[in-house]
A and B are shown apart, each in its own frame.
Chain A
Amino acid sequence: MSHRVRVNPIACEAHGMCAELLPERITLDEWGYPVIDEGSLTGSQLEHALRAARACPTFALLVERERERGRR
């Protein structure tokens, strides 16, 4: 089962921890907000992603199972 990371942009306050912990998938824009590559995570990235999600001070980073993908 594949996973991906997603950010809740309302909760995000640009602390930037996620980009430190998952630089393979997350960079920061010029205002400090995460720009996320939402493709499927590899096995080793999943572990880092979960760590990044736990480290986010506002719990804005979500690790989702691909099939949970919401209709936007």
Chain B
Amino acid sequence: MSASPSTITELAPATVQPRAPALPRLLSGIRAQGALSLEQHLAVHGPLPATGGGRRRARERAGMLIAEIERAGLLGHGGAAFPTAAKMRAVASARRRAIVVVNAAEGEPASLKDRTLLESLPHLVLDGGILAAEAVGADEVIVCACESAGAGIESMARAIEERARARSERGPALRLTAVPGHYVAGQESALVNFLGGGPAKPTFTPPMPFEQGVRQRPTLVNNVETVAHVALIARYGAAWFRELGTPTQPGSALVTLSGPVAHPGVYEIEHGASLSSLIRAGGGSTARLRGVLVGGYAGAWVGAPHLEGVALSNEHLAPHGASLGAGVVLLLSEHACPVAETARVARWLAGQSARQCGPCVHGLDALATTLEELAGGVAEARVAQRIDRLASLIARRGACGHPDGALNPILSALETFQAEFADHARHGPCDACSRPGELPLPDRPVSEATARP
């Protein structure tokens, strides 16, 4: 079992593989620039298992595919790590014809994995979308890309054209849609709302998308990386999938590594690989670290003293209150002030509210203000009680997961950097507070803060 992450800069020659190599899996055959054409994609992975046949045969195959995905233990890669097979079963059991939405609407400014898949491996994504459609009996696959992912959109549009030209048998209709780039647009209900002609904002649930989604039809919303794994599981099987990863989180994952590291970018790791092996694969850190934000802006901090033993799987991250989420790993250098950075992140997260639910609109704003006061050394007395009170007024009171997700990095920063927060509350700003922010936010997006390999 190999624990070393592989980078998209290590280019393997495209050869026909009877089995995909250990790592990279998803990133096999990837080029430094541009997409794999249909021909190149087929040279790396071979054709999809046979499709076609009558309706009865299609239903049998659908059941077998879902069972294989279940045996593989694939969990969703959009952030929530929900079992993919269970989600597919819920959609497949609905009476009406289903729709598949491939979610690459990545609004997380520190994540590049979704756009990397669209840009470089569009045919692997389409394979996965077609298989997902087969699994749930859908006649349509809609790929939703973030409108800011221009190169990804172009590449996917070309791939869909290639498929249309090459297709010899009938399959689901393939569509591509650009989705507004704000943070909550990628929430499942927001995508469904948008595809139904509404704003890209979350809606009140139930009904859940799997019950009643796009055009009132049962809708399977899967992250783009999730369906890419499906494309590999259908070819190489569940046992192969489980050769990497941990028993509770099998397989590999794409992670976006950024911050003070020699080669930031998208890496494929096996679940359970050590954080230090990922940083080594990224050429090593270029500064001493103060902490690592795992899971991005809905994730949690791991402080410098604990970094050595950290393994990148949800089971190993749970004691730190973190999870891998959508695979964002953000390093923070010791030159940065974690208090100022947290206040910045809190203000940005407050601004990303869809402004639909009172507790989210007012609560996140009040929390950001409190953190700014704390960072500036002008916080009221009993500020800790104020933060606890605000957190209790925010948690579980929104229609979507944004308010709860936003609490994670903020509350975890307060715990991880306790000494720094106490110091600011007593003495005001530190020297590092005046430095420009280090964590990538839209004023400093990750694509600029880090050069893609």
Does A70 sit within 8 A of B, measured CB to CB? yes
Does A11 sit within 8 A of B, measured CB to CB? yes
Does B93 sit within 8 A of A, measured CB to CB? no
Interface string of B130-166 (1 = CB under 8 A from A): 0000000000000000000000000000000000000
On whether A12 and B204 interact (CB within 8 A), knowing A29-B393, A35-B393, the answer reads no
B205 touches A10 (CB 8 A): no
On whether A31 and B356 interact (CB within 8 A), knowing A11-B204, A70-B206, A71-B206, the answer reads no
B208 CB to nearest A CB, Å: 6
B205 touches A70 (CB 8 A): yes
Closest A residue by C-beta to B203: A10
> How far apart are the CA atoms of A45 and B205 in the complex, in Å?
25
A24 CB to nearest B CB, Å: 19
B362 touches A9 (CB 8 A): no
> How far apart are the CA atoms of A55 and B207 in the complex, in Å?
24
Among B203, B205, B357, B398, the one with the most A-chain Cβ atoms within 10 Å of its Cβ is B357
B205 touches A9 (CB 8 A): no
Closest B residue by C-beta to A7: B397
Does A14 sit within 8 A of B, measured CB to CB? yes
A9 touches B204 (CB 8 A): yes
Q: Which residues of A contact B202 (CB under 8 A)?
A: 10
Interface string of B393-428 (1 = CB under 8 A from A): 100011100000000000000000000000000000
B355 CB to nearest A CB, Å: 10
On whether A14 and B358 interact (CB within 8 A), knowing A9-B397, A35-B393, the answer reads yes
A72 touches B205 (CB 8 A): yes
Cβ-defined partner of A10 (8 Å) among B204, B206, B207, B393: B204
Q: Which of A1-60 touch B at CB < 8 Å?
A: 8-14, 29-33, 35
Q: Which residues of B contact A11 (CB under 8 A)?
A: 204
Does B237 sit within 8 A of A, measured CB to CB? no
A21 CB to nearest B CB, Å: 19
B190 CB to nearest A CB, Å: 12
Does B284 sit within 8 A of A, measured CB to CB? no
Closest B residue by C-beta to A8: B204
Closest B residue by C-beta to A62: B204
Among A8, A11, A29, the one with the most B-chain Cβ atoms within 10 Å of its Cβ is A29
Cβ-defined partner of B358 (8 Å) among A9, A70, A71, A72: A9
Interface string of B343-387 (1 = CB under 8 A from A): 000000000000011111011000000000000000000000000
A31 touches B362 (CB 8 A): yes
On whether A9 and B208 interact (CB within 8 A), knowing A14-B358, A29-B393, the answer reads no
Closest B residue by C-beta to A68: B206
On whether A10 and B399 interact (CB within 8 A), knowing A29-B359, A30-B393, A31-B362, the answer reads yes
Q: Which of B202-251 touch A at CB < 8 Å?
A: 202-208
B358 touches A31 (CB 8 A): yes
Q: Which residues of A contact B358 (CB under 8 A)?
A: 9, 12-14, 31-33
A10 touches B208 (CB 8 A): no
> How far apart are the CA atoms of A30 and B392 in the complex, in Å?
12
Q: Which residues of A contact B359 (CB under 8 A)?
A: 9, 29, 31, 33
> How far apart are the CA atoms of A48 and B118 in the complex, in Å?
53
> How far apart are the CA atoms of A69 and B174 in the complex, in Å?
35
B206 touches A9 (CB 8 A): no
B12 CB to nearest A CB, Å: 41
A15 CB to nearest B CB, Å: 11
Q: Which residues of A contact B208 (CB under 8 A)?
A: 70-71
Closest A residue by C-beta to B403: A9
Closest B residue by C-beta to A71: B208
B212 CB to nearest A CB, Å: 12
Closest A residue by C-beta to B394: A29
> How far apart are the CA atoms of A9 and B360 in the complex, in Å?
9
Which residues of A are at the interface with B, using a C-beta cutoff of 8 A? 8-14, 29-33, 35, 70-72
- In the A-B complex, the 3 residue pairs with the smallest Cβ-Cβ separation, listed nearest first, are A70-B206, A9-B357, A33-B358
Subset of 27 A-B contacts with CB under 8 Å: A8-B204, A8-B399, A9-B204, A9-B360, A9-B397, A9-B399, A10-B202, A10-B203, A10-B204, A10-B357, A10-B399, A11-B204, A12-B357, A12-B358, A13-B358, A14-B358, A30-B362, A30-B393, A31-B359, A31-B363, A32-B358, A33-B358, A33-B362, A33-B397, A35-B397, A70-B208, A71-B206
Identify 4 new A-B residue pairs, CB closer than 8 A, beyond the known A10-B399, A70-B208.
A8-B204, A9-B204, A9-B358, A70-B205
